[in-house]
Structure 1
Amino acid sequence: MRVDVDEPQAVEEFWNGMREAAAAAARHQDPNLYRAIVKIGKSALAQGVELVPSSGYFLQCPVCSAQSGQTCVNAPGHPLNEGKLHPERIALSAQAIRGEVPLPEPLA
């Protein structure tokens, strides 16, 4: 199978795969798999892969406490509108991956 890294959907497909791996880490309560996902994500960002909103799937939501790999749920004062993740979760993931805040523990 040949992978075209210049294909328009390549970045989204990469993060979709990472999201699926994060869901597996949450499902199996595997902190080692989660840490590996974070390392891969940081390496990809260092090589110029852009961050997409689905990157928020890698962290627990600070609003509704959805676990890594899970979609968010509506919370009082924090509706999801048309998205699957709270904006606060997306912002936290961007800060964490850039190293501006420490990565929270991924699995309860």
Structure 2
Amino acid sequence: MRKIVEAMVGQGFQKPGTGLFLLCPICASEIGQQCISVPLYPLHGAIHPERVEMCRETLMAAG
């Protein structure tokens, strides 16, 4: 993922601020798709918090 973010930034795009550019580790939503509610992982917005956290970690690693 870090290489994808670096390539995007290298082409002039801003770093994405949400997890929509990553696959969801909870509900397996594809890139660009909103998450869906699954048992034991209720959805309180458009994206699971785990996906947002994964995005944050990826962006921090990319600098």
Which TM-score tier does this pair reach, normalised by the shorter chain? Answer: 0.7 to 0.9
Report the RMSD for the aligned CA atoms in angstroms. 2.3
Structure 2 segments unaligned to the other structure (5+ residues): none
Aligned position for 1:103: none
Q: What is the distance in 2 between the residues matched to 1:93 and 1:78?
A: 18
**What is the match of residue 56 of structure 1?**
19
Q: Which structure 1 segments of 5+ residues have no match? A: 1-34, 46-50, 101-108
TM-aligned CA distance change 1:71 to 1:41, over 3 Å: farther
Structure showing greater Rg: 1
Runs of 4+ in 1 over 2 A off after TM superposition: 38-45
Alignment-derived partner of residue 87 in structure 1: 49
Change (3 A) 1:80 1:41: farther
Q: Structure 2 CA distance, aligned partners of 1:69 and 1:75?
A: 18
Where relative contact order (Cα < 8 A, 6+ residues apart) is larger, the structure is: 2
Instruction: Give the structure-2-normalised TM-score.
Output: 0.72
TM superposition shift of 1:96? 1.0
Residue number in structure 2 paired with 1:68: 31
Matched ranges for 1:1-108 at <5 A: 35=4, 38=5, 39-41=7-9, 44=14, 52=17, 55-81=18-44, 83-99=45-61
Question: 1:78–1:95: structure 2 CA closer, same or farther, 3 Å change rule?
Answer: same
Q: Which has the higher helix share?
A: 1
Q: Distance in 2 between matches of 1:76 and 1:87?
A: 15
Name the SS for the 2:58 alignment partner.
Answer: helix
Instruction: Give, in angstroms, the shift of residue 41 of structure 1.
Output: 4.6
TM-score, scaled to structure 1: 0.45
Task: Give 2:58's aligned amino acid.
Answer: A
